[in-house]
Amino acid sequence: MNIEDDLQQRWWNLEAKLVERFGKKPDMEAILFLIGLQETNFTSTKITKEQKQDLMHVAVCTLLAQSGYYELHNVDGDGWPHFKQLKDLPVNGLTEQENFLKDHILLYFEQNGF
């Protein structure tokens, strides 16, 4: 089994757990949105498109902070975290970028006991 097969299997396992928890299979955007909600404790009955994008940005920064690409700089008065980029992201093709992000998502869920 190669590394990509292992990544894919672990990803399918995560998707299965999320389906069990939420009743439907989430796409990458939905998973990032969930992570953003988790990290900010954001609660609102109405979420704007801009807030959704901000939550997904928080998720990506949080995920990549695990590998030293970002660090939490501060949290503003509204409770939104702000990150500082520490190093350039690896430049890869679309599939490699997706796998890079999936690997970080899997690590995040593992570290958070899911």
Query: Domain residues for 85?
Result: 3-111
* Structural domain count, the chain: 1
Global confidence as pTM: 0.87
**Residue tagged 């998720």 (tokens):** 59
| Binned average pLDDT, 10 residues per bin, the chain of 114 residues | 78 93 92 94 85 95 96 91 94 88 95 85
* Alpha helix stretches (DSSP H) within the chain: 3-22, 28-40, 49-65, 94-111
* Rounded Cα distance, 3 and 23, in Å: 29
Phi, psi of 69 (to 5 degrees): -80, -30
